Amino acid sequence: MAGCRGGFVSGDWERHFLARFVGLRDLRRVLDMEPWSFSNSLVLVAEESRALGYRGVPLSTGVLWVQMHGLLPLSMTVSAVTKIGGLIGQVLEVDKSNGRDCIGRFARVRICCDVRQPLMRGVCVEFPVEGERWADFWYEFLPEYCLLCGCLGHLTRRCELKLREGRLETKTVTMVELEYPYRDLEALEDLRGRKLKIDAKGSSSHSN
């Protein structure tokens, strides 16, 4: 990473890599700038544990920016969206780019979640005054994931879950006739209304 002192030592065990930093400041910078991705796949980052060593550290959580759509403006307070985000995972940050508690067109939350679980499409929330509202979850710069089971790390055509259930005959079958319950989870715009560009492979980037 540019601006960080240290080096990377590649490991030959299950696609792990060990990163060594000269100072704690650089380490915190890398963690605070998550999520990271490579080749349209989410990069999982974890600090080394003195008790477990670097080989024993579990890599089962990742960081994603999640947009919450469908909430009324006065309901989009930091307190409310933090509670809603807690249903997905650990809320690390709530975007308050406009400096106010009422966030804007939608809420934007940085969340550390269990990547072994399917992505959440949304949740039904009960508010004291507004009543019951459905909040849609859209994910920014979403890495590759399965449209059938909603899990990160593999594409739809290679979904082992559906193969075991006998719904797919081969790994290369064309699935135009199947339903895709986890489609359209990619966020299209940021809080400022700028388009989030998605290339042919599905990876996202800001458009100029």
Give the model's pLDDT for residue 111: 96
In tens, the pLDDT along 148-194 reads: 889 998 888 877 666 666 655 544 444 444 578 899 999 999 888 88
CB 119 within 8 A of CB 186: no
Mean pLDDT, rounded, for 33-42 = 80
* Predicted pLDDT at 199: 47
Average pLDDT of the residues in 67-74: 89
Looking at residue 24, what is its pLDDT?
A: 82
Question: What confidence category does residue 203 fall into, taking pLDDT thresholds of 50, 70 and 90?
Answer: very low
The answer on pLDDT for 113 being more than 90 is: yes
Strand pairing of 6-10 and 41-43? Answer: unpaired
> Can you tell me the mean pLDDT for 22-35?
82
Residue 171 CA neighbour count, 13 Å, CB half: 5
Nearest to 80 by CA among 34, 116, 129: 129
**Measured distance CA(132)–CA(126) in Å, rounded:** 4
Residue pLDDT, tens place only, 83-108: 999 999 999 999 886 666 656 789 99
Residue 2 has what pLDDT? 46
Residues 6+ apart with CB under 8 A from 80: 71, 127
Report the alpha-carbon distance of residue 98 to residue 89 in Å, rounded: 24
Per the prediction, the chain carries an average pLDDT of 77
Q: Where does the pLDDT of residue 204 fall: very low under 50, low under 70, confident under 90, or very high at 90 and above?
A: very low
Token pair 């895709």 is found at: 180
pTM over 0.85: no
The whole-number pLDDT of residue 34 equals: 82
Question: Domain spans of the chain?
Answer: 6-59
Query: From CA 119, how far away is CA 31, in angstroms rounded?
Result: 22
- Identify which has the larger pLDDT, 15 or 9: 15
pLDDT, mean of residues 52-57: 66
Q: What is the pLDDT of residue 33?
A: 81
Least confident of 3-12, 69-78, 92-101, 183-192: 3-12
